[in-house]
């Protein structure tokens, strides 16, 4: 039927609707309402695994890797001397336009209108659920099956930079010399695989900010620190669900 013809038709009016039609309409409305009400009621019940108040430290035995590498940042000790960055550049041959680790600065309001400086060291968080690995189209970046380090296979990288966009921590850069993405790998190729027990940045820190360690080793300083009684431990951008392995605290 053409629109012109439709316009000529006389309106039937709602008073002439069959009751069957009315009932069907009401049932549909009830179904929609039921779904909404049901959802609201469900949202009021507690989720079993909600642990936000318990902090981001994984529960005992919930470390998927062995060794499960981590870095604990005692943030209030950081003085932005940037020896960590210098050591990283030297050890891992990082060009001047990129970085594998950096220090961010914040101004935090304290009493009487004063402000305090807060320095925040940032590097790859070697997440348990790394968004960068998920988006890589060539599996050039991957999670090491044994130690959980987020690694790069430079030869496979096509330089699409999707991982750079996906990383919640801005921990990746495009290295012109390699024509590939470069990032922190906890100094795996330059130090850990050669028998060193810590990263270059951690070794260079004069203030004991960066504590590198293995969470499966209960005697390690890193494990001890994030399990200290009465201490608040946090991670950066927990809302991304990436489950990062770099923890922050004040000593």
- Our CB check for another protein shows the closer of 33 and 105 to be 105
Is residue 207 involved in binding another protein (CB under 8 A)? yes
> What's the closest the beta carbon of residue 37 comes to another protein, in angstroms?
52
Is residue 116 involved in binding another protein (CB under 8 A)? yes
Q: Is 235 left (phi over 0), alpha (psi -120 to 50) or beta?
A: beta
Is residue 120 involved in binding another protein (CB under 8 A)? no
List of residues 6+ apart from 241 with CB closer than 8 A: 129
* Helix, strand, or coil (residue 109): strand
Is residue 79 involved in binding another protein (CB under 8 A)? yes
Three-state secondary structure of 183-220: ECCCCCCCCHHHCCCCCHHHHHCCCCCEEEEECCCCCC
- Our CB check for another protein shows the closer of 81 and 164 to be 81
- Our CB check for another protein shows the closer of 88 and 242 to be 88
Q: What are phi and psi of 250, to 5 degrees?
A: -110, 140
Number of residues that bind another protein (CB under 8 A): 16
Q: Which listed range, 46-54, 63-71, 117-125, 211-219, lies at the site for another protein (CB under 8 A)?
A: 117-125
Is residue 117 involved in binding another protein (CB under 8 A)? yes
Among 81, 133, 164, 243, binds another protein (CB under 8 A): 81
Strands 115-123 and 141-143, by their bridges, are: unpaired
Cis peptide before 67 (omega within 30 of 0): yes
Is residue 203 involved in binding another protein (CB under 8 A)? no
Instruction: Give the residues lining the site for another protein (CB under 8 A).
Output: 76-83, 103, 105, 116-119, 206-207
């Amino acid at each position: 039927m053409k629109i012109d013809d439709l316009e000529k038709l006389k309106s039937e009016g709602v008073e002439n609707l069959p009751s069957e039609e009315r009932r069907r309409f009401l049932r549909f409305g009830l179904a929609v309402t039921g779904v909404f009400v049901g959802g609201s009621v469900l949202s009021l019940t507690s989720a079993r695994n909600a642990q936000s108040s318990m902090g981001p430290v994984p529960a005992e035995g919930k470390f998927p890797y062995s060794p499960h590498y981590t870095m604990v940042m005692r943030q209030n000790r950081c003085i932005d001397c940037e020896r960590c960055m210098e050591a990283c550049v030297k050890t891992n041959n990082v060009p001047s336009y990129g970085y594998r680790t950096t220090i961010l600065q914040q101004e935090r309001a304290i009493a009487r209108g004063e402000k305090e400086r807060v320095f925040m060291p940032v590097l790859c968080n070697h997440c348990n659920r790394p968004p960068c690995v998920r988006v890589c189209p060539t599996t050039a970046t991957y999670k090491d099956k044994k130690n959980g380090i987020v690694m790069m296979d430079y030869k496979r990288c096509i330089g699409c930079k999707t991982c750079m966009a996906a990383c919640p921590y801005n921990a990746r850069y495009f290295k012109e010399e390699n024509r590939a993405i470069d990032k922190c790998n906890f100094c795996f190729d330059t130090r850990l695989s050669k028998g060193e027990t810590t990263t270059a940045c951690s070794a260079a820190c004069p203030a004991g900010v960066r504590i590198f360690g293995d969470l499966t080793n209960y005697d390690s300083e890193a494990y001890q620190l994030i399990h200290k009684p009465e201490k608040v431990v946090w991670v950066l951008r927990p809302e991304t669900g990436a489950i990062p392995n770099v923890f922050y605290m004040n000593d």
